[in-house]
Amino acid sequence: MRPKIPATILMLGMLLGSEPAECGIMCTWFGRCLYESPGFQITVVDKETGQPLADVHALAEWVQHGYHGRNGPLMVQDAVSGPDGVLMFPGWGPIPGSRAGLVINSDPVVTLFKPAYKVLLLNNAVPIGTDETDRVRGFSLGIQSSALEPFQGTTKELIQELGRGGTGATFGRTFDDQMRQFRNPYLNRTKRVWAWLQAVPKETREDENYIRAFERDLKYLEELGQ
């Protein structure tokens, strides 16, 4: 007589061979949490003219839930637009991540930066019914054009604008090992913002303090590579 296979082992075998959409069960039940993302692209235009914008820097951050406050990025990519305004992001994964899953609508969250324009933060728009532990995390807004609005305001308003994502959505809550892993994308963004800040008038002591703090962040990232 053929021996019976325990139900739990049979189910495990079925799940290991399942489609990516079913792998959330593997994460929830067995802690085998894998995530991946297909490539996508974003086209950036000037909000006033509708013309494509070159040299826009984009940070895409896939943010994971975590225990004990460890909720920084699982993956970070950056891209710079060409004359056609197109930003290209390659696919990645599968890679292991948090058992608590990725943050819905921040899987990824994308920030767009170009000097003399307002920072634009794009939250993902995931399909209804998506679970935090679902494996495939694509960017649902990639087929649309994103319009950057020229910045006009005071230094204080500029600093407030940069606070909306000038260094990325998760920079302030990224651990040292995560920052080391994703140093290059964050450093690319920080250098661009820093270069712009050099030309900004320092109207108050608060402005000076902010710029000095930003300089410390830049040095921190530079020293991570040494």
Question: For the chain, what are the domain ranges?
Answer: 33-224
Q: Is the pLDDT of residue 190 over 50?
A: yes
User: What percentage of the chain exceeds 90 in pLDDT?
Assistant: 54
Cis omega before residue 185 (within 30°)? Answer: no
**Predicted pLDDT at 7:** 44
3-state secondary structure of 82: coil
Mean pLDDT of all residues in 190-207: 87
Second-level CATH architecture of 33-224? Sandwich (2.60)
The pLDDT-based confidence of 1 (bands split at 50, 70, 90) is very low
Between residues 174 and 108, the one the model is more confident about:
108
The pLDDT-based confidence of 199 (bands split at 50, 70, 90) is confident
CA dihedral defined by 114, 39, 134, 20, rounded to 10 degrees? -170
Collect all residues with Cβ–Cβ distance below 8 Å to 110 and sequence separation of at least 6. Answer: 42, 58, 59, 60, 61, 121, 122, 139, 141
Cα–Cα distance for residue pair 79/43, rounded to 1 Å: 12
The pLDDT-based confidence of 31 (bands split at 50, 70, 90) is confident
3-state secondary structure of 186: helix
Give per-residue pLDDT as tens, 92-139: 999 999 989 999 999 999 999 999 999 999 999 988 888 999 999 999
Amino acid identity at 225: G
Q: What's the mean pLDDT when you consider all of the chain?
A: 85
Give per-residue pLDDT as tens, 57-76: 999 999 998 765 457 899 99
Mean pLDDT of all residues in 29-55: 93
